[in-house]
A and B are shown apart, each in its own frame.
Chain A
Amino acid sequence: MGDLAARFRAAYGAPAGHLLLLVGAFTVAGWVALRLAAEPTSGRMLVWFVGAAIAHDFVLFPIYGLADRVLQRALGTHGVPASGPALLNHVRVPALASGLLFLVYLPGILRLGRPTYLAASGQDQRPFLARWLLITAALFLASAVGYVLRRWWAQRR
């Protein structure tokens, strides 16, 4: 019995419990896929499901990774001094926050889905772009003030 388990493990690459758990996840996903296959929009759902992972891994991540690299190169050694506050992070943090807000609240900022928005709320989406820009400006300003204060504090000591 133990020999059989060991042989399974060597061939499969993990204990049988591993396979059992994965079969569980695939069963649920497969059952849902079969169930939704009859829906006329099932293809779109699949595209959005797989597309969400692809968009994150091969679009979003390379974009923010590259942006960070460019920023680091632009600031050079000034960006991350041996001691004292890092200018790099005082640019990174507001930029990341602004980017995140853009992603999360993108429909309002870009005024997507105007007719459904109007039907639901009786309003338009006009203020959101300006608000996002103002929040972004406020974040960078706060970060700049924070940087100046931290530098002043570091030099005083």
Chain B
Amino acid sequence: MSAESSPPAGGSPVASGRVPPGRPAYGFPRRWWAFLAEHPPPGAATVNRRWRSPLRGPWLTAMFGVVLLVGLPLVFLTGLLDYLAYSPQFGQAFPRDVGWLRLPQFDWPTRPSWLFRLTQGLHVALGITLIPIVLAKLWSVLPKLFDWPPARSVAQVLERLSLLLLVGGILFEIATGLLDIQYAYLFGFDFYTAHYFGAWVFVAALVTHVALKLRRMRTGLRSRSLPEELITYRAATRPEPPDPDELVAARPGPPTMSRRGALTLVGGLSLLLAALTVGQHLEGPWRRTALLLPRGRQPGAGPTGFPVNRTAAAAGVRAADTGPGWRLALRAGGRTVAVDRAGLLAMAQHTVTLPIACVEGWSTVQTWTGVRLRDLAALVGADGIAAAHVRSLEKAGLFKQATLQANQVLDADSLLALQVNGVDLSLDHGYPARVIVPALPGVHCTKWVAEIEFRSRTGG
């Protein structure tokens, strides 16, 4: 079509120091690719002329890219850790069957007690914080989508297809994640399955993209000096020199914003989202700073006024089920011991201050009082404990039961809590008794406990 890329006129010393590799040449079959290039659809040239921002260029794209390169792997890893916190070895991490994408399994530790609070908090909060940077990065490269010809070789066709996996992947993960933490399951498919496998598709595309573009990113970052950009006003802002990827506009308009302004804007938007999210982990009045998220509001006042993850009404647990007729069934090796609430209160009581954290991105620290799980195991004569299966009064739902690992049963801070903050549990918080275990995902701290079965290493 037009002339092949000429050396950048009046380029910066760095850019002119090395020879840009230029546009990729046509692959096989040459004639077809050339034909495609010479027959643009009507309007292609107009679209190309309308990209006017003088800020687009390899340096700006690389700046956004490097932030995402640090941030996104952290979101991915904390997401995987959250999955592992659900003890996949008991088939209770969702999706259950992940084939070759099975993670190395280990017993999720109970220390530090804020471990799950940290991993899920980082996953959700960092994921939200990176949204403006993802959008800015996409803005900076969007003209490439409308490039003509769309490809000059099979290599480019494949690379562009992989970008669909990359862009579709990150936006899919953001959309499903945001809907999940706000309980709006508009998509009509299983969130866990979609978010888990979607993450792998995205990460595979990301690894490929980074491997292909890392050198470009480094060149881009070195092409300008950040400290210098941070003192450059709007009026002194000039477009970057033409680049082989043609990120720089062919006919840039006058600057309406400096690069420092653009970076401040994107960073500021990230900080705004972070500021409106972190409140979901804070106590007292600070919690309200999560103004637009579900857990910025305390559902009530007083010692049991902290958020719940599932109400008794939603769980189908009625006050009648939890009245004086309630008994806790403890089972081990074929033996069963039934204890009522008075019996539990007569046992040694322990008080611990532990966080309860939900994978949907919120947590709260409360003071729980109750009986140690290991004391209950002793009561029913269980030894050589490998696991404990806890069942709730709940009739339905994924989390009406949970299996605890041996370390989670035996930890001195693992309780069957009867009270919180000095008062009896409220029905919504799991009255008459609930599990609380350090660093265990909130949904596995089963509420309205009906039965605990201790399983030994030898069988049962």
Contact = CB atoms under 8 A, between A and B. Distances in A.
A21 B311 CA distance: 48
B422 interface: no
A107 B171 contact: no
A49 B291 contact: no
Contact of B294 (A12, A104, A120): A120
A13 B208 contact: no
Interface string A114-156: 0011111111000110011001000000000000000000000
Contact of B308 (A44, A93, A121): A121
A32 interface: yes
A82 to B, nearest CB: 7
Contact of B182 (A80, A92, A113, A132): A113
Interface size range on A against B: 35 or more
B168 to A, nearest CB: 4
Contact of A25 (B165, B178, B297): B165
B339 interface: no
Contacts of A67: none
B261 A22 contact: no
B28 A10 contact: yes
Nearest to B234: A86
Interface residues of B, number: 85
B175 A48 contact: yes
Contact of A121 (B132, B201, B276, B299): B299
A128 B292 contact: yes
A24 B235 CA distance: 46
A73 interface: no
Nearest to A129: B292
Given A22-B159, A101-B276, A123-B294, A49 B183 contact: no
Given A41-B189, A83-B235, A108-B294, 14 more contacts: A11-B28, A12-B154, A14-B155, A25-B208, A35-B99, A41-B190, A57-B142, A82-B235, A96-B265, A113-B182, A116-B183, A116-B185, A122-B308, A132-B292
28 contacts: A11-B27, A13-B26, A13-B27, A13-B152, A21-B207, A21-B208, A21-B212, A28-B201, A35-B99, A45-B189, A48-B175, A49-B172, A52-B172, A56-B135, A56-B138, A56-B171, A80-B234, A83-B235, A88-B256, A93-B268, A100-B135, A101-B273, A104-B273, A113-B186, A118-B314, A121-B308, A122-B428, A123-B299
Interface of A: 10-14, 18-19, 21-22, 24-29, 31-32, 35-36, 39, 41-42, 44-45, 48-50, 52-53, 55-57, 61, 72, 79-80, 82-83, 86, 88-89, 92-93, 96-97, 100-101, 104-109, 112-113, 116-123, 127-128, 131-132, 135
